[in-house]
Structure 1
Amino acid sequence: MQSLATAHPQIALGALDGRYRPAVAALVDHLSEPALNRMRVHVEVEWLIHLTEQQVVPGVRAFTGDEKARLRQVVETFGPDEIDEMAATEKVTQHDVKAVEYFLKARLREIAPADADAGLAELIHFCCTSEDINNLSYALMVQGAVQQVWLPRAEALVETLATMASDLREVPLLAHTHGQPATPTTMGKELAVLTYRLQRQLRRIAGAEYLGKINGATGTYGAHLAAVPGADWQEISRTFVEGLGLTWNPLTTQIESHDWQAEVYADIARFNRVLHNMCTDVWTYISMGYFAQVRGQGTVGSSTMPHKVNPIRFENAEANLEVSTALLDVLASTLVQSRLQRDLTDSSMQRNIGTAIGHSLLAIDNATRGLAGLDAVPEAMAADLDANWEVLGEPVQSAMRALGAQGVPGMQEPYERLKELTRGRRIRQAELVEFVRGLGLPAEVEERLAAMTPQTYIGIAPELVDHLD
């Protein structure tokens, strides 16, 4: 059998780089291996500029405005040729960050040839361990991926759900607790519950801190002080990290501790779990006929049953949320651990960040498309309500309890009396009204309860939707 890998070397091994590539392609600019190398170049360039602007090393001139612009242009124009060049260099160095250093030294010789030959190039990667560059690169990559790609898509999904909750706020729905008919609510209120939970997680994710450090091989500034003892290295480090848009971590080993990553991934995983709950609930509402899936979208519901429109968007989302959450969980638990001052488990683990967030993004895309294909069916919801008049046993016995507490005679054992009427059997409106009128209730209470229907017994459910952002 012919090898597909040999015949077609571009075939993707994973689904995200294969059939689902269009839904997650935006993450490539942030979380791919080339994106990591581009961000490493960015950090190295800014560190070089920072050192020279601050005149950290005596006698070293600052770059001109044109030279700084050209250095930064190296980052802006980083593309396929540069990816190939760096890959070739890494084959020689057998070290990814060292390949970045050599790549940038070659560019500096083009931008400032005289100064580069005189030794200015030695300030590239000055006093840095690889993790100084990597931790800042990953922080910027994850920050960009979350804030520029994942969060806007998640917010759009939640906004869609919020709009549905508002539109359906008045539509009565037979609730089900433990799978059994329960106190009616509205479809809008139930969607609002899910929306509220998702909004809360989005606020946490939007407020995440992204930490970084640049303090040497064991976080002591040892090489820094040996090279330039008169410099305020903590201040140089702090201003550089904060200048990148990150929060400075002053206390680290060789690695930045990654606690912030664990926090972000845990929050995204929690969002995933709530979204998974939304998908299973909506899937169930579809199976009950409360939502109709809009036909005419060019989809095949079943290969053999032409009448079917399967809820595949929600099922696809469920699967991808489970994959994403599992990866995020292992990232969060592994990245906070490091033997003594350094081990390399984090290096291998962080290469899976794109996959973890990618599956979440894919799920968000599917869930969004799934919601867009739904039409509520109030008639189906009304039919189930009309078939379950026994749910009004709750308001009747509650009213009797209140009256009994006030000393009204004949209100004893309301729960037991309603249980005898309703448990394990279906009752109709006439039977319930007859029961209510035989209780000896005050006239106003009797008329109110006799007029109640499962459709009107929804409390303040529509008003509760107003608690959404």
Structure 2
Amino acid sequence: MNLENISPIDGRYQKDTEEFSKFFSESALIRYRVMLEIEYLIALAKEKNFVQVKNFSKEEKKTLRNIYQSFNLDDAEQIKTIEDVTKHDVKAVEYFLQTKFVELGFEEFISFIHFALTSEDINNLAYTLSFKHALQKVYLPQIKKVVEILLLQANQYKNLAMLSMTHGQPATPTTLGKELLVYVNRLERQIKKLESHSFAGKLNGAVGNFAAHHFAVPEVDWKKFSTDFVNFLGLEPLLLSTQVNSYDSLVESFMIVSHINIILSDLAKDMWLYISRGIFSQVVQENEVGSSTMPHKINPINFENAEGNVSIANSLFNCLIDKLPQSRMQRDLSGSTIIRNQGVALAHALLVAKNIVKGLNKVIPNIEKIKSELDNNFEVVTEALQTILRKNGNRDAYEKIKNLSRGKHLTRQDFLEFVETLDLPLVDKVKLQMLTPESYTGLIF
């Protein structure tokens, strides 16, 4: 950890977010740009109607691709040095490649580096690919770990009855397993959306009409070329655009991640409340300190950390969602500084997921407390009682049970005495006499 870093992502939380360096660091962004320039040139050479560049041999392609495959920090720093002079990030990449081409004996192809492209043709693809790759390789696997542990605990506690709370008041009992499965179901829905999400990329010149491409080499079907190239990258071709990618598809992915964050925030708050209620106990971690003055404290810090990071992540995502799809006329530069923060937003989302996993691994159900809550709130089974009365044609069943139980604390004995006064078929009366809050949990999921 570098203690002089400004952002907590690269400071306090570096160990948990360093996986993103290969996608969102300045060096990673430059490497994506270099890769795209190289692959674009290779694609030009492969295009049979682009006769100005011969198709590269297998060895020549290997040599060219090695420029970005072996790309290192020294290369990135060299490009940044060029950028200090040019004040243009993509042009600095082009000048770097010109030098490389001279070193590698590819001088005759220098004029075709970045041929007819605008910077946004490279940048939109670089930003979109980096976000897509980070989702696939780091973020989604971490979200699946959350689902995995929730499923494990849901199965383990599928029959463990617990008191529900609606409006903060005792309500119909449920099972701990079912409550955890609610979050599994919600998360799996969003995971499917992310896994099937199509990211769009554009490569169509200065204002989106292939003007320079078509004017210089009209023999090439540039729409098809662009479609094939963007498909090759694993993206959906965006043929109709201004100079900039509208980023609608990228923004849609931000929305899905934001929704996942909201679900995880809901889970974190529930777990915090369950711990506060005492129905979850926190496992003591030796050598950890909960308070600088209260030695007894064990705080639900991971769930609180997750909740806090949701606020930061979604604030950033909301900014990106609001700004990126908007650009004055054919292009303005205001989105350029905004999109650089997509990795910061996703890093905070990653912290959310990692803290949820850590928190879930530190808690166990307090069986004694759970049973005590159920036994001390016998009034929650009056729902079953009034439903049985309705089944037997009692029209004022609800009002009758309301008078018995609303705002009152019933014991098992109170319940049984009331049941004894009812005119019900024996089978229903016996069923009610056997009923307890612990057994009144509906279907088991």
Q: How far does residue 53 in structure 1 lie from its aligned partner after superposition?
A: 1.5
Alignment RMSD (CA, Å): 1.3
User: Which of the numbers 10, 20, 23 marks the counterpart of 1:30?
Assistant: 23
Q: How far does residue 62 in structure 1 lie from its aligned partner after superposition?
A: 2.0
Counterparts of 1:278 and 1:47, CA distance in 2: 45
Q: Deviations over 1:148-175 (max 9, x none)?
A: 1111111111111121111111100100
Q: Does 1:427 align with 2:410?
A: yes
Aligned to 1:313: 302
Q: How far does residue 59 in structure 1 lie from its aligned partner after superposition?
A: 4.1
Aligned to 2:421: 438
User: Which of the numbers 273, 293, 308 marks the counterpart of 2:282?
Assistant: 293
TM-score by length of 2: 0.98
Alpha carbons of structure 1 residues 373 and 297: separation in structure 2 relative to 1, 3 Å: farther
Alpha carbons of structure 1 residues 384 and 95: separation in structure 2 relative to 1, 3 Å: same
Which amino acid letter does the alignment assign opposite residue 308 of structure 1?
Answer: K
Counterparts of 1:375 and 1:9, CA distance in 2: 36
Alpha carbons of structure 1 residues 331 and 318: separation in structure 2 relative to 1, 3 Å: same
Q: How far does residue 57 in structure 1 lie from its aligned partner after superposition?
A: 3.0
Is contact 2:313-2:349 (8 Å) kept?
yes
Is contact 2:162-2:174 (8 Å) kept?
yes
User: Which of the numbers 182, 186, 189 marks the counterpart of 1:197?
Assistant: 186
> Match of 1:447, SS?
helix
Q: How far does residue 60 in structure 1 lie from its aligned partner after superposition?
A: 2.3
User: Which of the numbers 65, 77, 84 marks the counterpart of 1:72?
Assistant: 65
> Match of 2:204, SS?
coil
Aligned to 2:45: 52
In structure 2, runs of 5+ residues without a counterpart are none
Q: Deviations over 1:392-448 (max 9, x none)?
A: 1111011101101xxxxxx34211221121111211111101100111111000000
Counterparts of 1:355 and 1:244, CA distance in 2: 24
Alpha carbons of structure 1 residues 101 and 56: separation in structure 2 relative to 1, 3 Å: farther
In structure 1, runs of 5+ residues without a counterpart are 1-7, 405-410, 464-469
Q: How far does residue 244 in structure 1 lie from its aligned partner after superposition?
A: 1.0
Q: How far does residue 56 in structure 1 lie from its aligned partner after superposition?
A: 4.2
> Match of 2:392, SS?
helix
Higher mean C-alpha displacement, 10-19 vs 148-157 = 10-19
Q: How far does residue 326 in structure 1 lie from its aligned partner after superposition?
A: 1.1
Aligned to 1:466: none
Q: Does 1:43 align with 2:43?
A: no
Alpha carbons of structure 1 residues 412 and 48: separation in structure 2 relative to 1, 3 Å: closer
TM-score by length of 1: 0.93
Counterparts of 2:314 and 2:201, CA distance in 1: 25
Which amino acid letter does the alignment assign opposite residue 86 of structure 1?
Answer: I
Counterparts of 1:59 and 1:285, CA distance in 2: 69
Q: How far does residue 185 in structure 1 lie from its aligned partner after superposition?
A: 0.5
Is contact 1:67-1:112 (8 Å) kept?
no
Q: Deviations over 1:9-66 (max 9, x none)?
A: 9711111110100101011100122111100000000000110122443242222222
Alpha carbons of structure 1 residues 422 and 317: separation in structure 2 relative to 1, 3 Å: same
Aligned to 1:187: 176
User: Which of the numbers 371, 391, 399 marks the counterpart of 1:416?
Assistant: 399
Q: How far does residue 329 in structure 1 lie from its aligned partner after superposition?
A: 1.2
Q: Deviations over 1:264-285 (max 9, x none)?
A: 0001000000100000001100
Aligned to 2:435: 452
Q: How far does residue 298 in structure 1 lie from its aligned partner after superposition?
A: 3.3
Q: Deviations over 1:171-200 (max 9, x none)?
A: 001000000000000111111111111111
